[in-house]
Structure 1
Amino acid sequence: MRKRNKVVSLLLAGCMAVGLLAGCGSSGETQVATADNATAASTSTGAADSAAPETAGEVDGQINLRAVAFGNNFDVQDMGWRWMMGECYEGLMRDVADENGDRFEYAGAESMDVSDDGLVYTFHLRKDAKWSDGQPVTAADYEYGWKRLLNPEYGYSYSFYLFNVVGAEEYYNGQGSADEIGIKAVDDYTFEVTLKVADPTFQSKLVATPLYPTRQDVAEAAGDQWGKDWTKCVYNGPFAMTNLVEDNSMTWVKNDQYWDKDNVKLNQVNWYCVAENATAATMFDNGQLDVFDAAGDYIAKYDKEVEAGNMQTMTTEYPGTMVLCYEQSEGGKSGLMKNVNIRKAISYSINREEMVSAVYGRYTAAYGFVSPAITLDGTSYRKQALETMKKEYEQYAGDADKLKALFQKGLDELGITDKPEDITITLLSQGSATENQLEREYLQQSISQNLGVKVELNTVGDYQMFANERDNKNYDIFVGGWFSDYNDPLDFLNTMKTGVYDSYGLYSNSEYDSLIDSLTGENDNAKRLEIYQKLEDLLVAQDCGVAPLYYSDKHYYYQNWVKDFYTSSFGASQELYRASVQK
């Protein structure tokens, strides 16, 4: 598998705060961008940008929401910002959430046939699906989108999703043509895909945005602005974007061309870019926001409001795990990170239970890599697989003498004679939000006190600066996270295969790589579980290739006038196409 050139789903602790609230109004036209009128769609004059949003709930059919940052990528094949893609676009299937959890439902497709050998998938598309400009969504749009994903000229990060399709990897590597790929529109409403080997993860990927359809005429007319200029987009989902003020506000309206528009209750979705939790909480308290994703002291505050009947709450697992990453290729700035005992000493010096309580007031302490939200055979993977790191961790946790001895063992193995107090470990981080600062200070204090070393904070202002520091290996450790794109443990474990993601500190183990390869064509879930457990044990417990910190969740509070609000794991993070606002 090739080395992916972008890390779309790598979320960094510290990336949350990307801009400050600079006014929440908008004065753009409420005109849906289509292939015919794209240039007429307004991005707002900014004249009313200083106005606060109307009090939520005053207008039925409108909902006011917060984003910590707006993305700038509207190209579904490039994954982009999934929380927007999952509501304004739609693929063959949709991840739907309700009080019973997540499930997949047919969306762009009405049915699917699978050959007896598991190789040929035939999707029968719904004939009433349309783009926001009224043009039908056809099998040709899926064929173009999927083949565009594989086109080497574009270098899409998620092209590997389709490497098991006949002729796909060959085409991507310049060894075949697009016509030889096992992806074809049989007719306007029949879409056929042929795999090389049966793959139990294939259906799970169908809800991922890289496998959404793309209109060839619209994308090619946009040229190098495709995915960058929202006014050149057309939409096939429940909502369509009508306005954007960079780092400020964004508006979606109900897509009146959507095939299931009669069941979409919201007429408008207003998004406001609010980086700081304190600002968002004030807006939520004032009724200017309908929903608040809370952390820390806000959870206790709003739990009392829920008990009093003043608002509603919902907590769900989310398929993300935050981990401590080490620069393992060259040892980092200190030169120490190649040593497994050094890495373990750093990891074991962090009290996960205390960290999630003191810093966040939420989340679950992690001792494995795969999130509890990931299932295998319909059951949480975490209920089937042991967190094997935990046994060794508990032998060292809270015992500074043992931790220092483990660290010293690593120094001895490296031939380092420096005393711990003369050693500096650099923690790279980014962002100015309170939670980010608390996190890095907690890590700094924990590692320093337990190991007797200096921990220097290298905190940069934006993601690009962070990426430059990371790519130049100007760090020892940083906190990163994986948020899964499909529901299978493989999506977590494959990220650590050699050459897949440089951004995790260049972990590499040939045994690990061989185990990943052995999953190809393996359809027995009992055997897959056994291999997954071996992979996770090798990565986390034996090699300490990454150090798990906590499993993510979604902890929402929402106003009483909001009805049928849910959050899905593999679609839009806030499901709105069934939600409503009622005074």
Structure 2
Amino acid sequence: MRKIQKMCAALLAGVMTVGTFAPSVFADEAAKELTDEQVINVRTTAFGNNYDVQDMGWRWMMAACYEGLYRDVADENGDEFILAGAESVDISDDGTVYTYHLREDAKWSDGVPVTAHDYEYGWKRLLNPDYAYDYASFIYNVVGAEEYNSGEGSADDVMAVAVDDYTFEVTLKVADPTFESKLVATPLYPTREDLAEAAGDNWGKDWTLCVYNGPFCMTDMVVDNKMVWTKNAEYWDAENVHLDTINWYIVAQESTAATMFENGELDQYQPTGDYAIKFEKEAEEGKYQYMVTDYPGTIGLRFNFINGGTSGLMSNVKIRKAISYSIDREEMIDAVYGRYNPAYSYVAPAITFNGSSYRSQVGEVIEDEYNEYVGDPDKIVALFQEGLDELGVETPIEDITLTYLTSGSTTEVQAEREYIQQSLEETLGLTVELSVAGDNSLFIADRNEGNYDFFLGGWYSDYNDPLDFLYTNYTDAYGMSFGGYSNTDYDALADQLVGETDMDKRLDIYKQMEQILLLDDCAFAPIYYATKQVLLQNWVKDYRTSSFGASAEFIWTYIDGKNQ
């Protein structure tokens, strides 16, 4: 048995930094004498309407007002994955039994102790088939979990149990190096059985029924206008939480938000498009703070593997590659977004593996081949024609029409699809027809029926391991969301990962899977890796973000110098 005191286990699949839950603020003793009002004003474009942690419907809020066994916080140096609700963990020598020793000073905002029974109830509620939670599969490797969720077992058979009030024990079917990475996800947070059961169908719908075990509590809401969080006096580490109030304002228009930030009405703001470029320059002059971090998302083109697409051509890999290489990643990012990084693989650079960047270990998958084609229309057209010849299609390229399924009406979305349309038409000399769905439900209907050749999509990871990206392409894992792609060799590699704890072997399998997905099959054409840009007034100190927890993490933030 290995005992890990106040730090993450060595089996944690991919973390940038691991360590104790120890705030880094106030290294300077003088900073303790704060004279500014500890209030921060921030902007969002919409409020969620789901307060059920097991549903993960509003993660950015849930992870700030609640807390699980671990917490993920990050700054410009990367993510830090640390024990939070637990003080230590024992891991069996075979890697299948995790015994978490909870901190006995943790309380809910109503003063009731947070116990192992709250974790057991939360995990078993997640698996309860009556609720049909999407993230139940996160813990299918727990003994009895999948059987209970599928209706073939009972909650009593699930080996996630409270040994006593402050000991929570989890038994896995097979050792899983990704297991701990998932524990920052809100579906695995504790839940109060007495309150959830009393609320019945209103649980998760009425915020006034909630209690919180994190650093902040939601205390007020004006629908479609303002939401207020206040410091949770019962939080176990309340003395190191310095903000008294966080005011969230809905500001739909980017121009309005930018003006509010310039006027000092907002203390934190995430700019987009031209505003990102403008404020970055002003930050370089010292007017503001500007934080840019990698974010675990990759966006690109998905192709129709259901029926070959409306053109009937998507079944050919050379045609898919010709479409992919017609898009100049660097130029598109500069012209359309003003942010993000060009992508040449699927797993985003924000994902780490065995303690360091996964991408730095395996390199970029399609970059070399991409560079052979990009900017050379004749070569790309020749590749497309080879694909037509292989399919036995005699139609001239100029008479071919491809259908680009899309939705949304923001300025950026319009620029995005117009750029892709223009790039393909100018490079290949064919016609790209935009099929603009009126709303997301109509988009999904057309996608599921195969009424397209390609669409823009991607993945934002839920936990810090390459597998969360790669498993999305496993046959039938996500239905039509990924174009109906299926490859038996790819699936077989994924199956080899079950119970595999040799990190070198896992790395090799991940690398092979990306090779099949992107080079052999071109099932996905990566365009950009997501990043997160955050502007801060200079008086905002020790602000954090998170890739897998709260997108805005104020646990150690404080205000200093605003009144100067």
TM-score strictly above 0.5 = yes
Q: CA RMSD in A?
A: 1.9
| Pair 1:557-2:535 in alignment | yes
**Residues of 1 paired with 2:80 and 2:314: CA distance?**
41
Residue in 2 that maps onto 1:566: 544
Paired residue type of 1:321: T
Taking a change above 3 Å as real, the CA distance of residues 279 and 332 of structure 1, as seen in their structure-2 partners, is farther
Which has the higher mean CA deviation after the structures are superposed, 65-74 or 411-420?
Answer: 411-420
Structure-1-length-normalised TM-score: 0.87
Residues 334 and 476, structure 1, Cα contact 8 Å, conserved in 2: yes
* Secondary structure of 2:296's aligned partner: strand
| Pair 1:380-2:357 in alignment | yes
Residues 76 and 292, structure 2, Cα contact 8 Å, conserved in 1: no
Paired residue type of 1:211: L
Residue in 1 that maps onto 2:525: 547
1:379 CA displacement:
1.1
| Pair 1:278-2:255 in alignment | yes
**Residues of 2 paired with 1:411 and 1:324: CA distance?**
20
Once the two structures are superposed, what CA deviation does each residue of 1:222-271 show, in whole Å capped at 9, x if it has no partner?
22232233222222111111233343322211122211111111111111
**Residues of 2 paired with 1:460 and 1:256: CA distance?**
47
**Residues of 2 paired with 1:505 and 1:62: CA distance?**
46
Which has the higher mean CA deviation after the structures are superposed, 352-361 or 65-74?
Answer: 65-74
Q: How is 1:463-542 mapped onto 2 (pairs within 5 angstroms)?
A: 463-502=440-479, 503-542=481-520
Q: How is 1:255-294 mapped onto 2 (pairs within 5 angstroms)?
A: 255-294=232-271
Taking a change above 3 Å as real, the CA distance of residues 279 and 110 of structure 1, as seen in their structure-2 partners, is same
Q: How is 1:442-461 mapped onto 2 (pairs within 5 angstroms)?
A: 442-461=419-438
1:99 CA displacement:
5.2
Which has the higher mean CA deviation after the structures are superposed, 161-170 or 511-520?
Answer: 161-170
Once the two structures are superposed, what CA deviation does each residue of 1:488-533 show, in whole Å capped at 9, x if it has no partner?
1111111111111121111111111110010111111111110000
Residue in 2 that maps onto 1:47: none
Taking a change above 3 Å as real, the CA distance of residues 469 and 288 of structure 1, as seen in their structure-2 partners, is farther
Q: Write out the 4+ residue segments of structure 1 that deviate beyond 4 Å after TM superposition.
A: none
Taking a change above 3 Å as real, the CA distance of residues 337 and 554 of structure 1, as seen in their structure-2 partners, is same
The structure 1 residue matched to 2:82, chosen from 102, 105, 108, is 105
Q: How is 1:384-423 mapped onto 2 (pairs within 5 angstroms)?
A: 384-423=361-400
The size of the alignment, in residue pairs, is 527
| Structure 1: segments with no counterpart, 5+ residues | 1-56
**Residues of 1 paired with 2:113 and 2:67: CA distance?**
13
Paired residue type of 1:193: V
Taking a change above 3 Å as real, the CA distance of residues 153 and 426 of structure 1, as seen in their structure-2 partners, is same
Residues 432 and 461, structure 1, Cα contact 8 Å, conserved in 2: no
Paired residue type of 1:482: W
Taking a change above 3 Å as real, the CA distance of residues 390 and 304 of structure 1, as seen in their structure-2 partners, is closer
* Secondary structure of 2:404's aligned partner: strand
Paired residue type of 1:77: Q
Identity %: 63
Taking a change above 3 Å as real, the CA distance of residues 463 and 229 of structure 1, as seen in their structure-2 partners, is farther
Paired residue type of 2:143: V
* Secondary structure of 1:184's aligned partner: strand
Residue in 2 that maps onto 1:129: 106
**Residues of 2 paired with 1:271 and 1:540: CA distance?**
41
* Secondary structure of 1:325's aligned partner: strand
Taking a change above 3 Å as real, the CA distance of residues 229 and 454 of structure 1, as seen in their structure-2 partners, is farther
| Pair 1:341-2:318 in alignment | yes
Paired residue type of 1:530: D
Residues 498 and 513, structure 1, Cα contact 8 Å, conserved in 2: yes
Paired residue type of 2:484: L
Taking a change above 3 Å as real, the CA distance of residues 167 and 59 of structure 1, as seen in their structure-2 partners, is same
Structure-2-length-normalised TM-score: 0.90
Residues 130 and 257, structure 1, Cα contact 8 Å, conserved in 2: yes
Residue in 2 that maps onto 1:180: 157
Residues 75 and 293, structure 2, Cα contact 8 Å, conserved in 1: no
Paired residue type of 1:365: P
Residues 227 and 249, structure 2, Cα contact 8 Å, conserved in 1: yes
Residue in 1 that maps onto 2:47: 70
Residue in 2 that maps onto 1:332: 309
Paired residue type of 2:275: Y
Once the two structures are superposed, what CA deviation does each residue of 1:536-555 show, in whole Å capped at 9, x if it has no partner?
01001111111111111112
Paired residue type of 2:555: Y
* Secondary structure of 2:544's aligned partner: coil
1:578 CA displacement:
0.8
Residues 76 and 291, structure 2, Cα contact 8 Å, conserved in 1: no
Residues 276 and 433, structure 1, Cα contact 8 Å, conserved in 2: no
Taking a change above 3 Å as real, the CA distance of residues 461 and 277 of structure 1, as seen in their structure-2 partners, is farther
**Residues of 1 paired with 2:221 and 2:437: CA distance?**
27
**Residues of 2 paired with 1:220 and 1:195: CA distance?**
28
**Residues of 2 paired with 1:285 and 1:463: CA distance?**
34
Paired residue type of 1:402: K
Paired residue type of 2:50: N
